[in-house]
Amino acid sequence: MRSLKRSEAMKHAGQAPRPQRTPNEFIRLPGLFRRWELEQVVELGTDFHIEDAGTAADGTQLLAVYRRTQGDGAKDSR
């Protein structure tokens, strides 16, 4: 029985609790993007925040992209 408890604890040990998101929070997309790759990332009905993330070894500008959908609390300002 003791080994069962230990394996159960090990199973849950790798599951870190996720912090609660706020309604207007931007979530970072994994990876960095080049300017010409943005058309593959942008979706209608979604708010984006884009930040400079430095340069690649070849000198290309890299961008970090954050997104939130309109259902996540974004408001249309029209």
Per-residue pLDDT of 21-53, as tens digits, reads: 676 889 999 999 999 999 999 888 889 999 999
Q: Give residue 70's pLDDT.
A: 62
Question: Is residue 29 in some structural domain?
Answer: yes
Strand order in the sheet with 27-28: 27-28, 61-69, 46-55
How confident is the model over 1-21, as a mean pLDDT? 53
- How many Å apart are CA 76 and CA 78, to the nearest integer? 6
Task: Provide the mean pLDDT of the chain.
Answer: 77
Between these two residues, 18 and 77, which has the higher pLDDT value?
Answer: 18
Question: Is residue 9 in some structural domain?
Answer: no
Question: Is residue 61 in some structural domain?
Answer: yes
Question: Is residue 1 in some structural domain?
Answer: no
Contact in structure between 62 and 34 (CB atoms under 8 Å): yes
Smallest CA-to-CA distance from 24 within 65, 64, 68 is with 68
Cα–chain-centroid distance for residue 32? 11
Q: Give residue 78's pLDDT.
A: 40
Question: Is residue 66 in some structural domain?
Answer: yes
Between these two residues, 9 and 69, which has the higher pLDDT value?
Answer: 69
Domain that holds residue 63: 20-71
Q: How many domains does the chain have?
A: 1
Question: Is residue 33 in some structural domain?
Answer: yes
